[in-house]
Amino acid sequence: MSDSFVPDDDSDLKLRAAFGQFATGITVVTARSETGPIGITVNSFSSVSLDPPLALWSLAKDSFRANSFLAATSFAIHVLSSNQGHIARRFAQSAESFDGLAFDTNENGVPLLRDCLSRFECTLHESYAGGDHTIIVGRIERVSRAAGKPLLFYGGAYGEFRRLGE
């Protein structure tokens, strides 16, 4: 290893860069709020359990969207395809990025983005304090899937997955 450090207040950027060396998929989490539909781009998503069906994502406590998402009892996690980088950028910048975007709503009023690789419609199962984030666990009520390639995030940039030999 070329650089080793103990994480502290002075090494936040180095720690972020180290985390950034792990390629992740990109999701957009949506919910209904008092002011209308909201969304946020998230790469901290993971499956938790098949029985019961659970998934988690993490929300920065200092996000201006935190209160709205923490008040939501239902939400949807959308796994974006490689051609949906524009959607990831939209919701990274603004919670109310639905203008001109085609979406549906489920019976709980949760906005459902179209043409994603997969979508997990969830009800809140539990939330936990996790440092400067809140870990939100949802019970998966409905799943939708489609064919395609995932949108990835690595080293601060979006990219696409290619199989060896392609």
Model confidence at 52: pLDDT above 70: yes
User: For residue range 90-116, what is the model confidence (pLDDT) as tens digits?
Assistant: 999 886 789 889 899 999 999 999 999
Enclosing domain of residue 44 = 25-146
Using an 8 Å Cβ cutoff, are 102 and 121 in contact? no
Cβ atoms within 10 Å, residue 10:
9
Give the pLDDT score at 3.
79
Give the pLDDT score at 108.
96
| Domain membership flag for residue 126 | yes
Q: What share of the chain is helix, strand, coil (3-state, %, to 5)?
A: 15, 45, 35
Residue 42 CB contacts under 8 Å (≥ 6 apart), including other chains: 26, 27, 28, 29, 57, 58, 59, 77
Here the CATH number for the domain that contains residue 135 is 2.30.110.10
| Domain membership flag for residue 110 | yes
| Domain membership flag for residue 158 | no
Give the pLDDT score at 1.
52
Give the separation between CA 6 and CA 9, rounded to whole angstroms: 10
| Total count of domains within the chain | 1
| Domain membership flag for residue 78 | yes
Give the separation between CA 90 and CA 96, rounded to whole angstroms: 9
Tokens found for residue 133 = 């984030």
Mean pLDDT, rounded, for 35-58? 95
